[in-house]
Amino acid sequence: MNNNSPSLQDLQKEVDDWITTTGVRYFSELTNLAILTEEVGELARIIARRYGEQSEKESDRGSDLGDEMADILWVLVALANQTGVDLTEAFFKNMRKKNTRDAMRHINNPKLK
């Protein structure tokens, strides 16, 4: 991990700072959920056309997957901020759950061999 990489807390603060200055205020949680869904759809469209069986449209050829993923991360961070979720804490809690629940699940899955 790059020592210069921002933490999730840094990202949460940066998004909050931007929203409360440049963005004026947070959109409602429902609006942000709709925006998140839209952003995930944009990523899905590009991946389906670039890596799946669909033909890629000329207008999608220059699309930057990293930028699309960053859009999703940005809105997710905004939702975390406005609902009081500490993403660092939530992430590590989720990893503990996965490591307990799924410790042998995937290793024993014959479909993955």
99 in a domain, yes or no? Answer: no
Residue of 113 and 45 predicted with greater confidence: 45
Q: How confident is the model at residue 56 (pLDDT cuts 50, 70, 90)?
A: confident
pTM, rounded to two decimals? 0.87
113 in a domain, yes or no? Answer: no
44 in a domain, yes or no? Answer: yes
The pLDDT, as a whole number, for residue 23 is: 95
Tens-place pLDDT, residues 59-91: 888 899 999 999 999 999 999 999 999 999 999
Domain ranges, residue 56: 8-85
Helix axis angle for 8-21 and 87-101, nearest 10°, is 140
Burial class (CB in 10 A: 0-12, 13-18, 19+), 85: middle
14 in a domain, yes or no? Answer: yes
Residue 67: CATH number of its domain? 1.10.287.1080
30 in a domain, yes or no? Answer: yes
Q: How confident is the model at residue 3 (pLDDT cuts 50, 70, 90)?
A: low
- Number of structural domains (the chain) is 1
State how far the Cα of 47 lies from the Cα of 65, in Å rounded to an integer: 8
